[in-house]
Structure 1
Amino acid sequence: MATLFLIIIYLAFISLGLPDSLLGVAWPLIRPELGAPLAAAGYLSMTVAGGTIVSSLASGFVIHRFGTGKVTLVSCMLTACALLGFSFSTSVLWLALLAVPLGLGAGAVDAGLNNYVASHYKAHHMSWLHCFWGIGATLGPIIMSRYILSEHSWRSGYLAVAWIQFALVALLFLTLPLWKRTGHEAAGSPGPAAAEQPVQEAGDGSRHFVKSGVVKPLQIKGVKLTLLTFLLYCGVETTMGLWGSSFLVNVKGVDVAVAAQWVSLYFSGITAGRLITGFITLKVKSRILIRAGQLTALTGAVLLLLPLPLYCSLAGFILVGLGCAPIFPCLLHETPARFGKDHSQRIMGYQMAMAYTGTTLLPPLLGLMATRTPLGMGIFPYLVTLYAVAMMFSSEKINSLLKTRFAGDR
């Protein structure tokens, strides 16, 4: 039963990933048809992320009140209905209104399932969980590009993804009793009662005590820097997904359909990387994987920045995707080990909220700057590189703090 339950969680993450890359891929066609300004895509993305922040912050109460199964079912239904509405929208205003349920549908599921997997499964399951998100995020632009090529229609692409979402809703409805049984078993499991947790081994090799009931989560060393790392990571990932197609079309002169396929390769890099990372975590510590991923993503961003042949830009997209692969799931899985299980649920909520804050604020910043600077969309690789460098700096600072705490505990 535990295996079947894990498979259902994986499928739920496909539904989270499917809509994430659609807007950026379809925007070069949506914008002229609806007469929207270039920066409107950033505002729509910000609306989706804002709804996700609200629902993720409320996820603890909602899941406790209604159960994970029902929340997942209703959230996927919200997403499916919003995507269906997108396919019939006649103005940017309708897209903005539908972006609210699209965002609300993701947050509670994301925060709840991430904490469940981090607390109850090994690191490779977290990587594979987000690999399934990548499957959804990869399928999105592939589906959209096919409809753009065959029908020159972004609406049909949204409609197709909506029906896939409704199929997942039907599956979740049929398996709802399994969620209830598993939820009761989880609710009956005892939690830690000790005032001070045992020494814990973090992914960076350090060990430390986390005193429960004494230190507030935000007062724990490294938490604030971790939140900053999540903010910047989502700045890299979402900016690439939202504006990558526009950069290729407007700056590199790539055809819209081809640009959509290139963006799908970026998400394919994330997906394949997380599948591989799941196996590597059995032998390699998360700290090393996080650092390797950041270096790889930075290399890809530099390839986009330099005046190199077009195929180097394709390599840049793939490298950024591969680099992003281990960062997010490894950081999430390290939460209970680094900061203690007593604090992990609240810190996980903070992390998800900060991640969606990065998704909300940083991509629209690029759209705003692109409309007000001479570089236009040419500013894309500069900002991606800046986010990647800042993310790596904050992450390495966390490693330094944890080593200092380990030395102090001895």
Structure 2
Amino acid sequence: MFLVLLSYLAFFSIALPDSMLGVAWPSMRLSFGQSLGAAGLIPPFGVAATIVSTLLTRHVVARLGIGRLLAVSTVLSAVGLVISAASPTMAVFLVSVVMLGFSGGAIDVTLNAYAARSFGPRRINLMHASYVIGAAASPALVTLFLQVGVSWRVPYLVIAGLQLLLAGVFAVGARRWQEAEGRRRVHPWTENVDQRPEWRRKTQPRTAHASPDTDPARNRRPRMKIAAVVGIAAVVVQTGIESSVALWAYSFLTLGAGIGAGIAGLAVSGFWLMMFLSRVVLGSLAEGLGSRTIMGAGAIGLLVAAVLTAVGTTWPAAAVASVLVFGLAAGPMYPLLILTTRDRTTATGLDRLVAAQAASSAVGAATLPLLFGFAMSASPSAFAPIMLGAAVGALVLHLVLRGGSFRS
């Protein structure tokens, strides 16, 4: 249970810097002399760092172990936040974004691979709910400082200090990870199927007379490859939606729907709060109702939220409601996509597909917000039609995953 709690705390830590930019950017851009739409140019730098981090993490974990990787990555995050706060130009700030991408990517892929093997729907949702707590806390902190007239740089320094404290906790707990790995005699990245509990085994033993043409495992491989590709696409769209709401909802509410800065800041925090509640509640319900049922409800909810954004350009209350509904609907989607990775691949390919999905989530978190940046530079109201298209795409991908029988 101690390692489960450390996993939750680690996801809390990587969320803190991730969600600050959306609220800080309108003030930050003035310091850097940038346009509003320039915020869309920032995520690709973090994405590139995250992808490189995902590719290297497997080797780094093999050398350091999970516990030390958590500690080192959190220290790197703290250093990146200090550089963010001290940045005199946009170029220097982008350096800090790259550092934060390296840090968050390493923690994300390592713990998601661990959770996909070891957790059920409730625990993996609680782990991602811990991310939401951090993601809700930091925008509220930035909003508080800005409302009292303090520079956007100060909350970055405050979060950097908190990251250093968390790094100390991870360093102390590193030995527990080592002990757990020693007891298992196998690392989560290279775990052999036969060493897992019986109920988690997915192997189907061959008979002595099995041939390549009648081997069920061989025959389902093409379908599983298709499922893996569709699952990656679903992750891209899902994380793109979440990141776009986190980054652009504040600007949409204030500039596109005419809502005051204070209420808009609270609405962004409300987005993360609703996501937290849905992961806690719906994640638990998924234990009994099944992951597919909860994911279906979430996909429909995303479409409802997107419709509300269109109404919100003339009815401000609907705009605020749309941000909250996005949080409620999106909450369990990404954790359950990670959990159901084992339905779309073999046991030996699980870690590689989780890493591919982690990289694709970073791509989605950059590409869709970038599209929003270009569109919202012309009109803040463009948030509504682009979000509607993304929500339709998410629903279609879910229906493809649900309709296909990818497991035999």
TM-score normalized with structure 1 length: 0.90
- State whether residues 196 and 211 of structure 1, in contact with CA within 8 Å, keep that contact through their aligned partners in structure 2: no
Q: Which amino acid aligns with 2:339?
A: H
Q: Could you say if the C-alpha distance between residues 196 and 95 of structure 1 is closer, same or farther in structure 2, counting changes exceeding 3 Å?
A: closer
Q: Which amino acid aligns with 1:55?
A: S
- State whether residues 224 and 344 of structure 2, in contact with CA within 8 Å, keep that contact through their aligned partners in structure 1: no
Please state how far the C-alpha of 1:282 moved relative to its aligned partner.
Answer: 2.2
Aligned to 1:181: 179
Question: Which of the numbers 320, 325, 340 marks the counterpart of 2:326?
Answer: 320
Deviations 1:342-378 (A, max 9, x none): 221111111111111111211111112233x4xx121
**Residue 380 of structure 1 pairs with residue 383 of structure 2:** yes
**Residue 356 of structure 1 pairs with residue 362 of structure 2:** yes
Question: Which of the numbers 300, 305, 327 marks the counterpart of 1:300?
Answer: 305
- State whether residues 126 and 333 of structure 1, in contact with CA within 8 Å, keep that contact through their aligned partners in structure 2: yes
TM-score normalized with structure 2 length: 0.90
Question: Which of the numbers 223, 234, 243 marks the counterpart of 2:239?
Answer: 234
Question: Which of the numbers 159, 162, 168 marks the counterpart of 2:160?
Answer: 162
For 1:369 and 1:315, the matched residues in 2 are separated by: 22
For 1:123 and 1:101, the matched residues in 2 are separated by: 31
For 2:382 and 2:134, the matched residues in 1 are separated by: 28
Q: Say how many residue pairs are matched.
A: 390
Root mean square deviation, CA, Å: 2.2
Question: Which of the numbers 115, 135, 140 marks the counterpart of 2:138?
Answer: 140
Please state how far the C-alpha of 1:83 moved relative to its aligned partner.
Answer: 1.0
Please state how far the C-alpha of 1:183 moved relative to its aligned partner.
Answer: 2.5
Q: Which amino acid aligns with 2:228?
A: V
Aligned to 1:192: 193
SS in 2 for 1:341: coil
- State whether residues 299 and 398 of structure 2, in contact with CA within 8 Å, keep that contact through their aligned partners in structure 1: no
Name stretches of at least 5 consecutive residues in structure 2 with no aligned partner.
196-200, 206-214
Deviations 1:296-318 (A, max 9, x none): 12111110112442121111110
- State whether residues 119 and 341 of structure 1, in contact with CA within 8 Å, keep that contact through their aligned partners in structure 2: no
Please state how far the C-alpha of 1:216 moved relative to its aligned partner.
Answer: 7.0
Aligned to 1:288: 293
Name stretches of at least 5 consecutive residues in structure 1 with no aligned partner.
200-208
Aligned to 2:169: 171
For 1:340 and 1:394, the matched residues in 2 are separated by: 21
Q: Could you say if the C-alpha distance between residues 187 and 277 of structure 1 is closer, same or farther in structure 2, counting changes exceeding 3 Å?
A: farther
Deviations 1:364-400 (A, max 9, x none): 11112233x4xx1211121111111101101111222
Question: Sequence identity, in percent?
Answer: 26
- State whether residues 23 and 139 of structure 2, in contact with CA within 8 Å, keep that contact through their aligned partners in structure 1: yes
Aligned to 1:205: none
Deviations 1:202-250 (A, max 9, x none): xxxxxxx9737x9879962311111111111011100000111111121
**Residue 258 of structure 1 pairs with residue 263 of structure 2:** yes
**Residue 391 of structure 1 pairs with residue 394 of structure 2:** yes
Q: Which amino acid aligns with 2:193?
A: P
Q: Could you say if the C-alpha distance between residues 144 and 217 of structure 1 is closer, same or farther in structure 2, counting changes exceeding 3 Å?
A: farther
Alignment of 1:79-158 (within 5 A): 79-158=77-156
